[in-house]
Amino acid sequence: MPTMTWPAPLPQRVLVEGFTEKPPVYVIRSQPKTGPAILRRFTSGAIRPLTCSVPLLMWQVELLDQFFVDDLAGGLWPFRFPHPRLDDVTIATIDGVDLTTIDGQEITIGTTVIVRMVEPPSYTATGPVTFEAALNLEIMP
């Protein structure tokens, strides 16, 4: 199964508004005719639902649309996505000196997770050439 990577030209951080994440569900609940519900563990690996939005420019909408339709085969394939809740890590030398770009910006790497799109992205116009893409994802175990 191929694993693509979230395209670098797309935003690497999600919007705070609308971000939700839930822990995975490892138990199944059965309700008998009388008495309390019966719970049992049904898996050791479960998905973690994640809903978020990213701000996009018009050309980025086309890129995300192409990524979903072509690269992910309409949502069939999983892909690596920067985890919105886990902090970035600054890259440093063995001596503890932070590595920087020519402009003096710290070089950081973020934690990525493997996700699948539960449904196609939803695009909403926020201005003449700006959009917001709503993503409904599931983090794979």
Residues in the chain: 141
Mean pLDDT (whole number) for 1-19: 85
Query: CB–CB of 111/67 below 8 Å?
Result: no
Cα torsion at 43, 121, 72, 24 (round to 10°)? -10
Domain assignment of residue 55, given as a range: 4-139
86, amino acid identity: L
Reported as a single tens digit per residue, the pLDDT across 18-67 is 889 898 888 888 888 998 988 888 777 788 999 999 999 999 999 999 99
**Residue carrying structure tokens 């935003």:** 11
Q: What is the mean pLDDT of the chain?
A: 84
Indicate if the pLDDT at residue 101 is higher than 80.
no
Q: What residues form DSSP beta bridges with 113?
A: 81
pLDDT of residue 13: 84
Residues with Cβ within 8 Å of 7's Cβ and at least 6 positions away in sequence, in order, are 63, 64, 67
pLDDT of residue 58: 94
Count of domains observed in the chain: 1
pLDDT of residue 133: 96
User: Which range, of 9-13, 97-101, 110-114, averages the lowest pLDDT?
Assistant: 97-101
Give the tokens for residue 133. 């893409």
Indicate if the pLDDT at residue 135 is higher than 90.
yes
